[in-house]
Structure formats: C-alpha cells, structure tokens
Structure 1
Amino acid sequence: MSLHFVDQEKNKSCFDVYTKRATLLPISKYKLEDEPQESKVIRNLLIDELLLDGNAKQNLATFCQTDLSDESIQILMNACVQKNLIDKDEYPQMAEIEKRCVNIIGNLWNSPDSSTVGCSTTGSSEAAMLGGLALKKKWIENRKKQGKPIDKPNLVTGPVQVCWHKFALYFDIELREVPMEENRLCMTPKEMLELVDENTIGVVPTLGLTFTLQYENVKAIAEALDKYEKETGIYIPIHVDAASGGFVAPFLQPDIVWDFRLSRVKSINASGHKFGLTPLGCGWVVWNTKQDLHPDLVFNVNYLGGNMPTFSLNFSKPGGQVVCQYYNFLRHGRSGFTIIHQTCVDHGIFIGEEVKKIGIFDLIYDGRGGLPGVVWVLKKDAKVGFNLFDLSERMRSRGWQVAAYALPKNAQNIVVQRVVIRHGFSRDMAQMFIEDINRSIDYFAKHPMVSGLTQSEGQTFHH
C-alpha cells in the first residue's frame, strides 16, 4: 500500500479522483484534518453522499419548490452568489430589484396605497415574525397612550405552523390557538371571537393551512372583528399568513377577498420559495402602508458604505433568490403563474379522484378551492392490514415521500396523508404515484402489519 501511495505521488495526473488518498481511507468527518485535499476529490465524495438523499421530484411532502431546472435560474444565482442583499449601498441595483418585487407583490395583493412597504426574508417564518413584531409594537404604543398595562399581549390564530409558536415563545406573547375539531378543521369567526380581548395584538388567519391545504375565511374573520369593534371599541388588526396561498390565490381564486382589499389586513407574509417558484431562501413580508410598519423596527446603519434603513432579522443575506423572484415575475406574468398553478391543481384533483376510487380512503380536501394537492384519511370501517404511517413508509421504497401525520390538538385521533403538488410534476408522475399506492396496498394484503407504526413513530408533516 505504501508503494502504491508513492507511485501516485510521482504520477498524480495518471490517476482519477477515486484513486486519491481521500477515497482510499475514511475521511475525517467530525474534525479538521491537518492537510488539505484536492477540491475535485472532496467534491465527488460529497456528491456521492448526497445521492443518499431523496429524489426531490418525488417529494410530495414539502411545499418548497424543487424543480429549478431552468438554466436562467442557475445563471442568475451564480451571478449573485457573492452579493449581500443587506448592503444596499454596495449593491444598489439589487436593492432596486427587491423594491420592485415588493411593489409587484403589493399590487398582486391589492394594496390601494402607493406607499406599500416590505422586504425580502430568508423564508415566510422570518416574514411572519416581522409581521407579528409590528403588531406587538403598535399594540404597545396604543396601550401606553391609553395608560393601560402592556405585560399580557396575546395573539389569536387558527391551527398554525410551528413558526408562530416560536414567535410567541421568543417575543413573550401568549399564543391563543383555535384548536381543530373533528367536524371543523379551520378557525372560524365564532371560535376566534371567544379568544380575543383588549390584550390581543392581532389575529392571524392562514391562507393555506399546512395540515389540510385549505384557506381560512379571512373576510369573515375581518367582518367579525368589525362588529366586535363596534360593540366594544377595541380595534384588532389582522396579519395574514399566506406562506403558500399568497402566490396561489391571486391567480387561481382572484374573487376570494383575503388581502389588502380588507382595511383591517395590515400585513401579509408569503414564501417566494414555495409557489413563488424561486430557489430556497426567499420569503416576503408586505405592509399595506408605511404607517403599519412601526418605526421601532427600522434601523439605519452606515458602516457598510452609506446610510441605509433595514428591518429584517438577518444582516447578511444572499440576493440571488430575490433576483430569481423578479425573473419569475417578468418571465411568467399573471397568465404564466395561472397556467402553472392550475396545472398543479389539476394533478392534485386527479390524484384525489384516483385515491377515492380505491375505496378505502375518504378525502378531507379534494384539491379544489385551496392549495394544489389533496388530503385523505383511511375510512373508519376500512379493514386493512396497515395504517397511513405504514403506507407512507412503504411508498418510500419506490422513492415517494408522502406526509402522514396526526392532526393537532383536539383532532389528534385523525391521521391524514397529504400530497402537495408543485411545478415540475406531470400527469405521468401522478399515474405512477397511484400505481405505487395500489402496489403498496397489494403488498400489505399479502404481508399485513401486525401492529403497524404508532403515531409518534410515524412520519411527521413537512413545511
């Protein structure tokens, strides 16, 4: 072996990467080695490791965009890899592109005011927290003017994604979450009104629930708060969590009133890297007017080369995703986004219809009226030798990642399976998916699970 290494050192160019030292011995995985390695060798080793990850095309659990095969996206990302979006003095054109995106999104969400403000974020979770912080700051300001205590702020939501639980914990706010019930899976005005009071900084309806893909009725919630204000004198604003629906509803359900057409809606967050079609790491938060963004959230700094305002939680942020968002806006336009998302909806409806034909499933969401996808449960009287966790695990043997999970508080006895359809999916893939569902069911008929996986052992949902 030692002679082999000596020969290699004398004739380096004669050997490919898989005969180099780093490929003949285990690499140091958890601490730095003393000597450097050849870049191509390490690159190939990492590519080999990444082969063990799932196939993004078959990941029907995530909401995030996985089809980024557009060559222009790759070129634009490479052109921006060294640029810090926060440094607006050094990269003014990238800052201008971000500003254009904010205006396009404000227009998309029917902002009636030319002073719409907002910013890009690393995802909708950061955007949601900025929206929530603005609500808290406004509430504190108003309470101080009234001479009232500010020690017990609360936020009222429906069944929400974990980012709102983080927001409440990080910023000392009581989260009052309307729980799901077996016959009611969304927040409605009735349940919302039971939780609000003078300490409520805002109400957060969700346009595209993580659990069921459905839209909560923002208009009905706003109207209920209008009536509540008339009766009590207490004003409560709305922030809409449109992480997924913000780039779907304007194109597929333009008649649903959920956005800045409602004066009570002060801010909205969305993920560009979901149905906005951009690479991972892009979110947006937009306030209807400058007055809705509290000035305490805006910092002016000058040590990057010039005086500039900033109100994001991060202070170093790549700009490629923002440029790609702008590219998608220019390239697709309204009709392009409509065609893309309608195609995804049609695939979801097809899968739902085929799943229902199998005869052992009931649809909770059939793919119509919300996000592209479908959600189902096993029939209560289904006599099968598996549960949905077993089915999800079996589908992985064919490469499919399908979310199976118990619904949240007060509906935990309901276990669902969910498929999210994103751009890059085809009808052929949908048919192959159904064939693999049937193949898996046939397998369980021959090899029934004695006990199956428990809920705690099963696969959880992906955001």
Structure 2
Amino acid sequence: MSSNAFNAITRQINCLFGNKEPWQVASITAISLMTVIWLLEQIDHDESISSRAKNKFFKLMRLLPQVQRKIDTEVSKVSAGMEKSVQDRTAHMEYYSTLPLLGLSNEELLEEVDKYLSLGEYKWKEGRVSGAVYNFNEQLCELMSIVYQKTAYTNPLHADIFPGINKMEAEVVRMCATMFNGDENTVGTMTTGGTESLIMACKAYRDYAREVKGIYKANIVMPRTAHAGFDKAAQYFNIHINYADIDPITTKVNMKQMAAKINKNTIMLIGSAPNFPYGTMDDIQAIAALGLKYKIPVHVDACLGGFLIPFMKRAGYPLPPFDFRVKGVTSISADPHKYGFTPKGCSIILYSDKKYRHHQYTMTTDWPGGVYGSPTVNGSRAGGSIAACWATMLHFGIDGYVEATKRVIDTTRYIERHLRQIKGIFIFGTPATSVIALGSREFDIFRLTDAMCSFGWNLNTLQFPSGIHICVTMLHTMDGMADKFIKDIKAAVGEIMKNPGKPVEGKMALYGQAQTLSDRSLVADITRCFIDSMYYTPGAAIKNGK
C-alpha cells in the first residue's frame, strides 16, 4: 500500500472519530475487536452454523413455560410406561433395600441367583437373540469358572504382587498383535470392553495431537455408521465429530465426503471392519491413504468382527486388507468377548507404535500417596477377566477359531441367500462378516420387529433409515436354528404383506416416531427415562433381611 493511500485512510478514520469522546473511541474499538474475534470463532467452528442455530432455537423454546410443561408431561408418561414394564417383570419378587441382618447361606444365595436369571423372556441359549451372547458351551463355562475362581481376587494394578496376571495380559496383547499382522513395534493394552477401547484410542490421539501438533480444538472424522462409543469418547474429552455420510447402496463410508471433512484440527480418522448397523466393511485402504496424505492416525474399529476377520481367509472367505499390513493404519480395537468367546469384560486396543500408547496412559506424579500411573480408564482391574481371556484364547487356538469362523460365516451366508429371496424386504449392502441388516420399501420394517418378537426372536433395531438386523453367533449355527429363523421371517413378512400399509403399533411406533423429532434432546430425555428404569426399586414390599 502506498504512503498516499495509507495517509488517506488514516485521515478518514480520524474524521470518523474526530467528534467522539475518548471513552466512545475505546468502546467502539473494543466492541469491534470482540465482534471480529466472534466471527473468526464461528468460521473456525467445526459444527455448522445451521446446526448450532437449530440447537439454540430448541433450547430457547424450552425456556417457554408452556412448552417445557408439555415436554415434562409427555416425558413423564413415557417414564411411567418404562417403569411399569420393569414392575410387571418383577411383580412376583421382592426387592432388597438393606443388607440382611444375617447373610444368606450358599443354598439360599444360589436359589436367588437362579430366580433373577429366570426373569428374561427371551431364550438366548436357543439362539433367539441377535448378538449379545456369542457362544454358550457348558464345558467351556466350567473351565472358565475354574480359571476365574483361581484368579478372582487378583489385580494387575499391583504388578509386584500378581506378576503372573501381568504376564497373561502381555501375552494376550502380543497374540492379538500377531493376529492383526503387527510387528515388533506393535503394542497395546486390554480393556473392559469395546467402548473403553475406543475411548482409549481417542484419548491417546487427542493427547498426541496436543503435544506433537499443538492441536487444542480436536475433531475426528468418521462414518455415520461408526460405533456410538466414539461419540461417548468425544463427550468425555471435548472432541468434535465430523461425520461422513455413507453410500446408500453399499452402506460403506463415502470417501469423497470423508476427505472433505478433514481439516487442520483433525486428530484421527476411523473405519469400521465391520460396522455395527449393517455389517459392511469400510474401505480401510482408502482411509489409510488419507491418513498418510494428511499425516493423521487411522483407527480400525474391529470390536465386533475382530475375532472373525483374521481367520476368514483360512475359513474360505478372504477380505480386502484391513490390519497393520495396510500402511497408515495406526491402531485396531477388537473384542475377545464377542467371537473370541471369552467371558464378558474383555477387549483389546493395539497401536502400531509405542508413542501412541504412551499418550493413552494417565500419570499423576505429585500425589502424596505416591506416583500413580494407569494404562486404561480403570485403576484396579479384574485379574480374573484377564486370566479367563488368556485361557479361552489358548483353549481355542488358531484351528478352533478358524472352525468357529467358518461355521458363523457359513450360517450368515446361508441366511442372507434365503432372505434375499423374500419379497417385501431387502438387505442393506453386502455383509462382510456376521451381521445381516433388513429394510423394506413396502411396509414399516418395525412391524417385522414386532412380528418376530411374537415368534420369540429379539432383533436389533436401526434408524436413519429404519431397519433391523441379526448378528449371527455360534448359537445360530446349531442344527435347525438358521432354518427356523428363515421360516419365521417368511411367515411374518407374508402376514404383513397382506396389509402392508398398516401402521406400526406399540413401543415400536414410539421408536419410529423418535426418528422424526428434530429436537434430538427430546430423544435424549426419553433415553434417560429408559436408563432410569433399569435402576427401578419399589418403595414398598422390600426385603429387609432376617
């Protein structure tokens, strides 16, 4: 800019403020500066202006007393209904509200346990549920009971007292690293479940990005179908999520959109192998290539299929590369307590390099109780769960897992082929492992959920768009179970197609309506009611002990 132009601008500014008092000049300057800062923050915000405006609108609407009263009334009705369903299930039983004066005998206690376990209405041991229980073998249960009995009171937090438990955990991590084609640099830890593994990955990459890249407004880029555990981690760690939509045909992530969502604050990219809703596998190679291009860590969530996909090639079902052989993949999560058939409470988080795992750890160095460091969310951990996982993996071995994988995938493919022949329903995408998702263009698919419940089946419901899925487990590989499922689906769809336009009723109608609510905070309110109902205890008819 020339000196003449600069002088002209300064003269105009002086003229503009010539008649202003000093306090006015200072106020205008401060307000202008704050306005510019606010605008820059809005521009740099990961959440869109329209999304923030919509959320703000709904919050303001709730400030109106008549609106809030209406919401409170409707939510109270829903809450009462959920609580009543719990009351109905346990109406024949009393509740404990205080410790019994005298402890129960072994016989009394075991009798109580059997009563509590009989409360469920679904016959999960017969394979009538989707996922949830991935195997049930009496001999394996007996073996694991003995292992857990021996190790129930151990705690790897005290490594000097229980070094054998630490050795077991280290061996589980190393065996899993080998399964996923890691090298000598591959490291990891055990966690209590898939959600904790995802939380740990987000924590590690957030802290790594802070230290190495100076990123303090972190975001992660992931498909809409990525597990909700990432959203939980984002809420815990103040990380924003940039969602990439999926291809409506393949149900895999749209790679162009995923690339477009990356910005200077992106700390990790995520792909699923497979995803929970549809059982399809994202293009891990393409996501890893993006990670290399922009120098961003890439996490592969294999929590659901982690003990299937490493064995599928040997079982006759090869998959595209998905593990540490893919350059750019920096971490993998997998759950032994699913298709690894270990007792519940076991998951694995693996990293390609120790530098990432170091940022997963939590350190407290100035506590009067001493230096405190822990590898995962928990301090104390159940050594029995670690030992049972270790024992289960050694019990099955490679051949055992290959055989199990073949049985599960054979059954899944068999069910899929027959379902594709049923008029009135369709399959979402092409299942990669054990999940088959169903939709319908002819009728409300939630009617099929209700119909299958009447046949004794419990299936998972999906939204955006509406759908249901079955997660095939070892229980479904039992003689006749796959054919029974197919037969019941055919019968249910056949009955529904007699009047396809009939609306869905009951609790599934409520679930369907929830998808149409623009104010998602209302859905959150309803979900809180459901969680509250899980902790229901009555005010009367309480067992007060002996």
- The TM-score normalised by the length of structure 2 is 0.69
1:416 aligns with 467
Tell me the secondary structure at the aligned position of residue 95 of structure 1. Answer: helix
1:377 aligns with 439
CA distance, structure 2, for counterparts of residue 285 and residue 135 of structure 1: 13
> CA-atom RMSD, angstroms?
3.0
Structure 1 residues 33 and 78 mapped into 2: Cα distance closer, same or farther (>3 Å)? Answer: closer
Tell me the secondary structure at the aligned position of residue 293 of structure 1. Answer: helix
Say whether residues 1:440 and 2:492 are aligned partners: yes
2:187 aligns with 117
2:108 aligns with 41
2:323 aligns with 259
Amino acid at match of 1:394: A
CA distance, structure 2, for counterparts of residue 346 and residue 438 of structure 1: 20
Contact 1:89–1:308 (8 Å) recurs in 2? no
2:30 aligns with none
Q: What's the CA shift string for 1:408-447, capped at 9, x where partnerless? A: xxxx2x3222111112332411111222223434554679
Contact 1:135–1:202 (8 Å) recurs in 2? yes
Q: What's the CA shift string for 1:232-274, capped at 9, x where partnerless? A: xxx2111111112222211104653222123422221111111
1:137 deviation in Å? Answer: 1.2
CA distance, structure 2, for counterparts of residue 366 and residue 324 of structure 1: 34
1:326 aligns with 390
Contact 1:244–1:371 (8 Å) recurs in 2? no
Q: What's the CA shift string for 1:97-126, capped at 9, x where partnerless? A: 1101111111111112x2432111100111
Say whether residues 1:55 and 2:123 are aligned partners: yes
1:88 deviation in Å? Answer: 2.1
Contact 1:207–1:240 (8 Å) recurs in 2? yes
Range with greater deviation from structure 2 (202-211 or 186-195): 186-195
Candidates 400, 409, 417, aligned match of 1:336: 400
Amino acid at match of 1:97: M
1:357 deviation in Å? Answer: 2.6
1:289 aligns with 353
Candidates 146, 158, 170, aligned match of 1:75: 146
CA distance, structure 1, for counterparts of residue 357 and residue 112 of structure 2: 47
Amino acid at match of 1:376: L
1:450 deviation in Å? Answer: 4.0
1:232 aligns with none
CA distance, structure 2, for counterparts of residue 423 and residue 125 of structure 1: 23
Structure 1 residues 306 and 320 mapped into 2: Cα distance closer, same or farther (>3 Å)? Answer: farther
Range with greater deviation from structure 2 (166-175 or 246-255): 246-255
Tell me the secondary structure at the aligned position of residue 241 of structure 1. Answer: strand
Amino acid at match of 2:462: Y
Contact 1:132–1:239 (8 Å) recurs in 2? no
Structure 1 residues 446 and 52 mapped into 2: Cα distance closer, same or farther (>3 Å)? Answer: farther
Structure 1 residues 311 and 455 mapped into 2: Cα distance closer, same or farther (>3 Å)? Answer: farther
- The TM-score normalised by the length of structure 1 is 0.80
CA distance, structure 2, for counterparts of residue 447 and residue 202 of structure 1: 48
Contact 2:424–2:493 (8 Å) recurs in 1? no
1:186 aligns with 252
CA distance, structure 1, for counterparts of residue 420 and residue 359 of structure 2: 52
Q: What's the CA shift string for 1:357-409, capped at 9, x where partnerless? A: 33222122454xx221322222x2x3xxx632222222223321112322xxx
Amino acid at match of 1:243: C
1:205 deviation in Å? Answer: 0.9
CA distance, structure 2, for counterparts of residue 172 and residue 308 of structure 1: 24
CA distance, structure 2, for counterparts of residue 188 and residue 94 of structure 1: 43
Query: How does 1:17-416 map onto structure 2 within 5 Å?
Result: 28-29=94-95, 31-32=97-98, 35-36=101-102, 38-39=104-105, 40-53=107-120, 54-57=122-125, 58-62=127-131, 64-69=133-138, 70=140, 71-112=142-183, 114-144=184-214, 150-159=215-224, 160-183=226-249, 185-226=251-292, 228-229=293-294, 235-253=295-313, 256-295=320-359, 297-299=361-363, 310-367=374-431, 370-378=432-440, 380=441, 382=442, 387-406=444-463, 412=464, 414-416=465-467
What percentage of residue pairs aligned between the two structures are identical?
23
CA distance, structure 1, for counterparts of residue 112 and residue 393 of structure 2: 37
1:356 deviation in Å? Answer: 2.4
The unaligned stretches of length 5 or more in structure 2 are 1-90, 516-546
